């Protein structure tokens, strides 16, 4: 069995799968159930001055027959008394000493308030703190959450206040609701953050009821912007994790905890390949319950075995060198689509995608009442849209036809052009 354990700025966890600070980590009852199900760690739902919630408070984006592609919430931080939370956190840490237990915090932007909550929280014996600088709704109107996380100076300042008294690792949770997440990441690290977690939810309006004209979730005829999460946000989260992990101007390297649409072992591996040490999950648990972690553990272990990895350290960050600027990509690399006629079911989706949306490189022929589709190799630009829409896995593949041209990136091309050593590349003749 490969070793799935991780060490995250000194915090040990039997596996990288943590519950994100969210409704599933609202109580000792839930966290105990989660740990029993196999979760390696949890970030306790944000504690602070208890609030009052509204109903309804969640809404979802369904696609075709797939439910909850995206989830939106206008729920705030904990609505339970601070004392209850702290007592339960202490209890859980005692019962599960080998699991990672962090606590998410959010209080008013006052030094004393932060000092107070940090001390009282650490008294529980928890393993670390997560500063919630990300909540995009409700709390931000009160000057907390993303109101802090969107201003580098505030993020830095509050992290400093926390670090003045904290004895456990401090992780700052970043909001994606900014133009460049790296500025906030750098500020938090400058402020002393030991780790970063990202992303928090994305500001959103998920949809509108066409009968009542009220956006969802509806609260007596009105709604509010909420935080978007779930499978739909994964690509955005992956990119932001990469941006932070690869940031050359970062004051120093800190461990990252990846969050955003993680549903399966492979989602988690992707975040880790881009530099995350742990991953945090919420929506998938809200959709399917804690039991999904079993597949995540088994799937990751199997993948590691197949790849010959014995420890999570073997692959964390392994994809980082594979992401580069567009200007470094090879202009001379060429691929062409190929349709395996034995697998083709003649649905015509490749044809119409190419014809209307792409580069008119697929030919349709009627043969004995069946439509046959064939790639016109010398017109195909290798965009691979046809492969993306083909419902039969493996039917359309991309074949390399680079030939013996040397690797030449845009940056190299510009240089060679300027030096007069190369003629301009002719535009494609596909129109």
User: Nearest distance from residue 242's CB to other proteins, in Å?
Assistant: 33
- Give the whole-angstrom CA distance, residue 9 versus residue 276: 12
Active site residue 135: yes
Strands (E), 48-188: 58-63, 66-73, 100-105, 128-132, 170-173
Q: Which of 221, 308, 321, 391 binds other proteins (CB under 8 A)?
A: 391
Which positions from 103 through 162 interact with other proteins, judged by CB under 8 A? none
- Specify the residue, 117 or 344, whose C-beta has the smaller distance to other proteins: 344
Q: How far apart are alpha carbons 241 and 276 in whole angstroms?
A: 7
CA separation (Å) from 269 to 176, 190, 258, 273, 363? 21, 28, 10, 6, 39
Site string for other proteins, 330-349 (x = CB under 8 A): ---------------xxxxx
Helix, strand, coil percentages (3-state) for the chain, rounded to 5, are: 35, 20, 45
Q: Should residue 364 be labelled a site residue for other proteins when binding is judged by CB under 8 A? A: yes
- Mask of contacts with other proteins, 368-387, x by CB under 8 A? -xxx----------------
Q: Which is nearer to other proteins, 301 or 352 (CB)?
A: 352
Q: Phi, psi at residue 60, to the nearest 5°?
A: -135, 160
Q: Which of 280, 34, 12 is nearest to 168 (CA)?
A: 12
Q: Binders of other proteins among 65-84, rule CB under 8 A?
A: 65-66
Q: Is 392 in the site for other proteins (CB under 8 A)?
A: yes
Site for other proteins (CB under 8 A): which residue of 246, 352, 383, 398? Answer: 352
- The neighbouring-strand residues paired with 59 are 72
What character string, x for contact with other proteins (CB under 8 A) and - otherwise, covers 46-65?
Answer: ------------------xx
Smallest distance from other proteins to CB 428, Å = 24
CB of 351 to other proteins, least distance (A): 6
Q: Give whichever of 346 and 430 is closer to other proteins, judged by the CB atom.
A: 346
Half-sphere exposure of 230 (CA within 13 A, CB side): 23
Nearer to other proteins, 67 or 307 (CB): 67
Residue count at the site for other proteins (CB under 8 A)? 16
Nearer to other proteins, 66 or 249 (CB): 66
Cα–Cα distance, 166 to 129 (Å, whole number): 9
Closest separation in Å from C-beta 404 to other proteins: 37
Number of helices (H), then strands (E), belonging to the chain: the values are: 13, 18
d(CA 237, CA 246): 14
Pairing of strands 396-400, 335-339: antiparallel
- Which is the catalytic residue, given 9, 126, 135, 380? 135
Closest by Cα among 36, 170, 54 to 103: 170
Tokens matching residue 31? 């966290």
In the complex, minimum distance from the CB of residue 213 to other proteins, in angstroms, rounded to a whole number: 17
Question: Could you say whether residue 351 binds other proteins (CB under 8 A)?
Answer: yes
Question: 388 or 416, CB closer to other proteins?
Answer: 388
As a whole number of angstroms, the distance between CA 171 and CA 130 comes to: 5
Binding site for other proteins (CB under 8 A): 64-66, 345-349, 351-352, 364, 369-371, 391-392
Catalytically annotated residues:
135
């Amino acid at each position: 069995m490969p070793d799935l354990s991780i060490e995250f700025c000194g915090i040990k966890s039997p596996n990288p799968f943590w519950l994100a600070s969210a409704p599933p980590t609202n109580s000792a009852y839930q966290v105990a159930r989660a740990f029993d199900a196999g979760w390696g760690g949890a970030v306790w739902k944000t504690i602070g001055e208890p609030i009052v919630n509204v109903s309804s408070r969640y809404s979802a984006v369904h696609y075709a027959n797939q439910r909850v592609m995206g989830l939106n919430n206008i729920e705030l931080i904990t609505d339970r008394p601070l004392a209850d939370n702290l007592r339960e956190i202490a209890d859980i840490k005692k019962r599960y000493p080998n699991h990672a237990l962090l606590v998410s915090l959010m209080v008013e932007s006052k030094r004393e308030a932060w000092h107070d909550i940090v001390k009282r929280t650490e008294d529980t014996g928890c393993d670390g703190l997560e500063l919630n600088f990300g909540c995009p709704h409700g709390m931000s109107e009160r000057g907390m959450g993303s109101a802090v996380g969107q201003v580098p100076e505030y993020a830095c300042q509050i992290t400093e206040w926390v670090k003045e008294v904290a004895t456990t690792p401090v992780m700052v949770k970043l909001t994606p609701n900014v133009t460049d997440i790296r500025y906030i990441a750098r500020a938090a690290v400058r402020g002393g953050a030991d780790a970063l977690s990202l992303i928090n939810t994305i500001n959103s309006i998920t949809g509108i009821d066409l009968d009542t004209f009220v956006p969802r979730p509806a609260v007596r005829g009105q709604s509010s912007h909420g935080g978007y999460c779930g499978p739909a946000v994964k690509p955005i989260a992956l990119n932001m994790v990469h941006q932070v992990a690869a940031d050359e101007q970062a004051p120093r390297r800190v461990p990252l905890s990846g969050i955003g649409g993680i549903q399966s072992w492979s989602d988690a591996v992707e975040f880790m390949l881009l530099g995350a040490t742990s991953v945090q999950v919420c929506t998938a648990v809200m959709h399917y319950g804690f039991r999904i972690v079993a597949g995540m553990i088994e799937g990751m272990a199997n993948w590691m075995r197949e790849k010959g990895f014995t420890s999570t350290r073997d692959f964390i960050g392994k994809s980082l060198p594979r992401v580069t600027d567009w200007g470094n990509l090879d202009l001379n690399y060429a691929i062409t689509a190929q349709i395996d006629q034995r697998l083709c079911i003649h649905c015509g989706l490749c044809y119409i995608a190419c014809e209307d949306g792409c580069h008119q490189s697929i030919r349709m022929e009627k043969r004995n009442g069946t439509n046959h589709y064939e790639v016109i190799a010398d017109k195909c630009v290798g965009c691979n849209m046809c492969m993306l829409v083909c419902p039969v896995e493996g039917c359309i593949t991309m074949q390399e036809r680079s030939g013996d041209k040397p690797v030449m990136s845009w940056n190299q091309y510009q240089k060679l052009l300027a030096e007069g050593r190369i003629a301009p590349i002719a535009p494609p003749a596909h129109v």
